[in-house]
């Protein structure tokens, strides 16, 4: 134990600085394209300078400071400085609009905003006249000119070092109450304005401890994390930032999600935290390449995949392979798996965490089969976020594992997953009514997810209450599982199941265009653009067959009877996805109302 009492991540950081000193804590790609290390000592120098600057600008314990930035090492510096000064960090998704940013800064009562890029600075400046309580903006990137009310981060460091607030900063770090507010994370707000989730220092510290206790041996190894999920999201904040900080591991910042596959090859991480979308994309990309391969390579891949399936009981239960199977698997690994992993930059990956949404069994088993331990977990922003996770010694694909240490999970009315533990939020900021609604009378948090718990205590999520489709025949259907099954097709990129108050289920489908275009060319189908491609009868027949193939295990009422192909991929920018890439069903229903109506108007019964 270091000299600081570990009541917060700010104190944990100080103890780790004392322990690791000049060892690298993070690395980032500089302007020359070279990964550059920053040591614990160097990071601490910046944290202390900015912390002292915030104090010199009148930031008091309990004040709020907004942080509007993409992932970069300055995000960590800013966060740790804010916490060290006794204030609360209000992260804003880097992809948020100026108006969304204005709402969060105003609602949170933030006094200062740290802007990560010139674009983020401009967004804040465009709404600054509507924010009378915002006293200053700290610009991480130099805007190149003097702007009233804006100070560069470089100048803030310099002024902080001269401010002579060292003793005050020490006092504030030591005075942090574990049950004080550490952050306000605003939920995506798929309906109405987002709510500010109040998470305390204790919530984060407890959740790091709970994650560590899932497999302490795992963290005894040397690890390199790759950070690419938004730090403004609680999954990356806890599992991709605070957890490596808590366990003394190095984190390398990816450039951005669009370059993630290149960054994998450059960094070759041993540990990663991701959402299902990445696993889906990698899996689909591999299958796409295999479909174009010569017959011998295809047959070899098929043979290896057969052995990968047989490997599941071994890897999921942490058992060594034996006998003839061990020899066969080692050969498949040498010929196929090791080459695949090497080409993807996953050859050193020991563990991969999946959270933020349901991971399909086929995606999970694909990675597990070739020797990558994918640990699926569950939680929400309101639970910091981890409540459940599969331990590496007993993985059950399709489940999110047992509850973590000191956490109770049970199934309530209507199959709702209820949870209680030290990682559960304090409540919603300035919203007592919503806070009251979020808890049961006996203090369990209502997750809004539907699930079931098996004999081993493993939780399986089967849907979300607010997403439930109730057909006109009165059937309650969860669209998530159906959508996951459909996305197992290499030709289906995105899907939204439709059917609320309708006679049958239908689907809006965004195809995997690279894969579909390859298939079309192989089948001599000519097309000038995507619109022509999705209108083609043979293409629609192909998708229909893929739907039938991937839905063979579903009941009659859950079958997709009709579908519509769409030519544009959904994104946060176009409004259909949240910042964590979940489908905004209400928006999809509104935006594609005409296409949905055309599906059902064709049906006479």
Average pLDDT over residues 230-240: 95
The C-alpha R_g of the chain, in whole angstroms, comes to 25
Residue environment code for 546-564, b if the CB has 16+ CB neighbours within 10 A, otherwise e: bbeebbeeeeeebebbbbb
Q: Which domains does the chain have, with CATH numbers?
A: 7-176 (3.40.50.12780), 257-411+448-464 (3.40.50), 468-601 (3.30.300.30)
Of 360, 409, 402, residue with least CA distance to 383: 409
Residues paired with residue 343 on neighbouring β-strands, in sequence order: none
> Which pLDDT score, from 0 to 100, does residue 289 have?
84
- Tens-place pLDDT, residues 511-542: 999 999 999 999 999 999 999 999 999 999 99
Q: What is the DSSP string of 304-370?
A: HHHHHHHHHHHHHTT----HHHHHHHHHHIIIIIHHHHHHHT-TT--EEEE-SSPPPHHHHHHHHHT
Tell me how crowded residue 69 is: count the other CB atoms within 10 A of its CB.
25
> Which pLDDT score, from 0 to 100, does residue 179 have?
97
- Average pLDDT of the chain? 94
Q: What percent of the chain clears pLDDT 70, i.e. is strictly above it?
A: 98
- Tens-place pLDDT, residues 153-166: 999 999 999 999 99
Q: What is the DSSP string of 144-165?
A: SS--TTEEEHHHHHHHHHHS--
CA dist., res. 54 & res. 556, Å (int)? 61
> Which pLDDT score, from 0 to 100, does residue 2 have?
66
Residue 286 DSSP SS3: helix
Which residues fall within 8 angstroms of residue 31, CB to CB, at 6 or more apart? Answer: none
The most confident of 1-5, 258-262, 396-400, by mean pLDDT? 396-400
- Tens-place pLDDT, residues 458-508: 999 988 898 889 888 888 898 988 998 999 899 999 999 999 889 999 999
Residue 602 pLDDT > 70, yes or no? no
> Which pLDDT score, from 0 to 100, does residue 603 have?
59
| Cβ-contact 538, 516 below 8 angstroms | no
> Which pLDDT score, from 0 to 100, does residue 432 have?
95
Residue 605 pLDDT > 50, yes or no? no
Q: What percent of the chain clears pLDDT 90, i.e. is strictly above it?
A: 84
pLDDT band at 578 (very low <50, low <70, confident <90, very high): confident
Average pLDDT over residues 386-409: 97
Average pLDDT over residues 365-389: 97
Average pLDDT over residues 550-569: 94
Residue 1 pLDDT > 80, yes or no? no
Residues paired with residue 496 on neighbouring β-strands, in sequence order: 508
Tell me how crowded residue 33 is: count the other CB atoms within 10 A of its CB.
8
CA dist., res. 200 & res. 207, Å (int)? 11
Residue 38 pLDDT > 50, yes or no? yes
- Tens-place pLDDT, residues 276-333: 889 988 998 898 888 888 999 999 999 999 999 999 999 999 999 999 999 999 999 9
Q: Which tokens belong to 37?
A: 């290390």
CA dist., res. 319 & res. 123, Å (int)? 53
CA dist., res. 372 & res. 365, Å (int)? 9
> Which pLDDT score, from 0 to 100, does residue 285 have?
85
Comparing 113-117, 323-327, 492-496, 575-579, the range with the smallest average pLDDT is 575-579
- Tens-place pLDDT, residues 151-210: 999 999 999 999 999 999 999 999 999 999 999 999 865 556 789 999 999 999 999 999
Alpha helix segments (H runs only) across 374-414: none
- In 479-528, where do the E strands start and end? 492-498, 505-511
- Tens-place pLDDT, residues 236-266: 999 999 999 999 999 999 998 889 999 999 9
């Amino acid at each position: 134990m270091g000299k600081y009492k570990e009541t917060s991540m700010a104190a944990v950081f100080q103890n780790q600085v004392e322990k690791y000193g000049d060892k690298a804590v993070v690395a980032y790609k500089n302007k020359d394209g070279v990964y550059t290390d920053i040591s614990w000592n160097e990071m601490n120098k910046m944290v202390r300078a900015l912390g002292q600057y915030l104090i010199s600008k009148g930031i008091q314990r309990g004040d709020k400071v907004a942080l509007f930035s993409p992932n970069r090492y300055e995000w960590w510096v800013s966060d740790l400085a804010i916490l060290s000064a006794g204030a609360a960090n209000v992260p804003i998704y880097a992809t948020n609009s100026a108006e969304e940013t204005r709402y969060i800064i105003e609602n949170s009562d933030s006094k200062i905003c740290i802007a990560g890029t010139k674009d983020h600075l401009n967004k804040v400046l465009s709404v600054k006249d509507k924010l009378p309580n915002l006293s200053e903006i700290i610009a991480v990137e130099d805007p190149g000119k003097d702007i009233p009310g804006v100070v560069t981060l470089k100048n803030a460091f310099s002024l902080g070092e001269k401010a002579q607030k060292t003793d005050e900063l020490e006092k504030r770090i030591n005075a942090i109450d574990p049950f004080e507010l550490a952050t306000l994370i605003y939920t995506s707000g798929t309906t109405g304005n987002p709510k500010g989730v109040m998470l305390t220092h204790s919530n984060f510290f407890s959740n790091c401890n709970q994650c560590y206790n899932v497999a302490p041996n795992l963290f005894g190894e040397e690890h390199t994390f790759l950070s690419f999920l938004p730090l403004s999201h609680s999954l990356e904040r806890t599992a991709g930032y605070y957890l490596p900080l808590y366990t003394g591991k190095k984190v390398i910042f990816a450039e951005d999600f669009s370059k993630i596959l290149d960054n994998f090859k450059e960094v070759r991480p041993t540990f990663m935290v991701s959402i299902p979308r990445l696993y889906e994309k990698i899996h689909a990309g591999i299958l796409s390449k295999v479909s174009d391969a010569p017959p011998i390579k295809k047959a070899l891949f098929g043979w290896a995949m057969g052995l990968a399936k047989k490997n599941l009981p071994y890897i999921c239960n942490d058992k060594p392979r034996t006998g003839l199977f061990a020899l066969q698997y080692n050969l498949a690994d040498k010929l196929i798996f090791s080459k695949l992993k090497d080409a993807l930059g996953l050859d050193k990956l020991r563990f991969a965490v999946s959270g933020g949404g349901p991971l399909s069994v086929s995606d999970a088993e694909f990675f597990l089969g070739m020797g990558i331990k994918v640990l699926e977990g569950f939680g929400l922003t309101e639970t910091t976020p981890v409540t459940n996770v599969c331990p590496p010694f007993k993985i059950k694909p399709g489940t999110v594992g047992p509850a973590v240490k000191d956490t109770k999970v049970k199934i309530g009315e209507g199959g709702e997953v209820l949870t209680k533990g030290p990682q559960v939020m304090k409540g919603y900021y300035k919203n007592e009514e919503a806070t009251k609604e979020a808890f049961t009378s006996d203090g369990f948090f209502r997750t809004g997810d539907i699930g079931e718990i098996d004999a081993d205590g493993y939780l399986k999520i089967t849907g979300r209450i607010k997403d439930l489709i109730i057909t006109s025949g009165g059937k309650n259907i969860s669209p998530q599982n159906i959508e996951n099954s459909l996305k197992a097709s290499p030709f289906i990129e995105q899907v939204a199941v439709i059917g609320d108050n309708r006679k049958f289920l239908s689907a809006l489908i965004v195809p995997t265009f690279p894969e579909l275009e390859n298939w079309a060319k192989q089948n001599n189908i000519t097309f000038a653009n995507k619109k022509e491609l999705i209108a083609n009868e043979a293409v629609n027949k192909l998708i229909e067959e893929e739907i039938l193939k991937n839905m063979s295990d579903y009941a009659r009422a859950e079958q997709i009877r009709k579908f519509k192909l769409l030519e544009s991929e959904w994104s946060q920018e176009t409004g259909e996805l949240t910042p964590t890439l979940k489908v905004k069903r209400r928006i999809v229903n509104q935006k594609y109302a005409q296409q949905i109506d055309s599906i059902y108007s064709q049906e006479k019964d």
